Amino acid sequence: MASDATAAAPRITPAELSARKGGTPIVCLTAYTYPIARLLDPHVDLLLVGDSVAMVLHGHKTTLGATMEMMILHGQAVMRGTRRACVVLDMPAGSYENSPAAALASARRLIDETGCDAVKLEGGVDVAEQIAAITGAGIAVMGHIGLQPQSVEKDGGYKIKGGTDAAIATLLADAKAVERAGAFSMVIEGTMEPVAAEITRRAAIPTIGIGASAACDGQILVVDDAIGLTVDRVPKFVKEYASLRDMVAKAAVCYAEEVRARAFPGPEHVFQPKGTKES
């Protein structure tokens, strides 16, 4: 858990992270729950309440299952568990695409109902007006270019970006549009390594890589992937730093064995009337 010193430290702001362009890499992970937020908060710079929560915790096939209500619920939980990390909430599909006004209204709702520090939305040139409307109202925005999980159905699946000259030109234009619209940083996902590195060199704001390049200004992973808790397919770009799947399964086996053998609960786990001698 966070130490008293960590708990008293001021929360990292989007502006502070933006100023770290080209400096010490920015450490980011997703978080969806209070206990995970508490555990991660002392060690990361940014926690993203990603719309990946729809898949990771709710069992949806894609992130399209995320709703505003879902993002707010998990955003509130993560905010209760953090004191130090900058907290960013994903704007779910359908909450920002229709117009700049709709995007601003959705962003304000996420900020007002959770107290988070910034919002994130996917797209480049196509959502530049939405980003500008949100940042123009004083709300910090993280962009997201490259592979965009909210677009997998129209893209025909999870396809790595930047494989052709035309695709590279599109990515560079998207990055520039996000930057010009006032975003404080941008995620680059599922993009050819040299292309992600080139975008990072050209961009004036930090880039956060996921399946992109070590040259990015920071990195992010889905926390369940990073700690080996993902029960479905683990993406190629993931490094598992623990194997909680095995630990959870082993604990369940031990618990089941003890319950069936009446070894649990033991005397130390039950309550006796006062004056009763414990064995």
Q: Which residues are catalytic, by number?
A: 189
Q: How is the chain classified by DSSP, letter by letter?
A: ---HHHHHSPPPPHHHHHTTTTSSPEEEEE--SHHHHHHHTTT-SEEEE-TTHHHHTT--SSGGG--HHHHHHHHHHHHHT-SSSEEEEEPPTTSSSS-HHHHHHHHHHHHHHH--SEEE--BSGGGHHHHHHHHHTT-EEEEEEES-GGGHHHHTS---B--SHHHHHHHHHHHHHHHHTT-SEEEEESB-HHHHHHHHHH-SS-EEEESS-TTSSEEEE-HHHHTT---SPPPTT---S--HHHHHHHHHHHHHHHHHTT-SS-GGGS---TTPPP-
Are the beta carbons of 52 and 149 closer than 8 angstroms? yes
How far, in Å, CA of 145 to CA of 190, rounded? 9
Are the beta carbons of 84 and 6 closer than 8 angstroms? yes
Are the beta carbons of 45 and 12 closer than 8 angstroms? yes
Q: Which residues pair with 142 in a beta bridge?
A: 120, 185
